[in-house]
Amino acid sequence: MSADTSGSEYVAEFVDGPLEGDFEHRALVGGKPEQRIGMMAAVDGLESLFWYDAVEEHQVNGQLRVRFRFDAGDSDPVESDDDNND
């Protein structure tokens, strides 16, 4: 049996950017969801840091979900460097 964690976590929904369509279970911090998330992901084999900002909170079947929008200005570039792919 697993413990009920519905009051200690939320689901992050990434609505755009490189992680568009992804979902992640995250712990509440001080009883609240984070307002900004830094996510690492590989683009063409290179690790990149992508920043996301919370834009909306809603409940789905009693579970807190938070939508995050991509902050391209603060994130690593997502374009591949085709010149180095010989």
Query: Residue 85: inside a domain, yes or no?
Result: no
Instruction: Inform me whether the pLDDT recorded for 47 exceeds 80.
Output: yes
How many CB atoms lie under 10 A from the CB of residue 24?
Answer: 13
Instruction: Inform me whether the pLDDT recorded for 66 exceeds 90.
Output: yes
Instruction: Calculate mean pLDDT across residues 39-56.
Output: 92
What is the total count of domains within the chain?
A: 1
HSE-up of 34 (CA within 13 Å, CB side)?
Answer: 16
What are the tens digits of pLDDT across the range 7-33?
A: 799 999 999 999 999 999 999 999 999
pLDDT of residue 16: 96
pLDDT of residue 55: 98
Question: Which residue type is seen at 63?
Answer: Q
pLDDT of residue 9: 96
Range of the domain at 48: 9-76
Instruction: Inform me whether the pLDDT recorded for 68 exceeds 80.
Output: yes
Query: Residue 40: inside a domain, yes or no?
Result: yes
Query: Residue 34: inside a domain, yes or no?
Result: yes
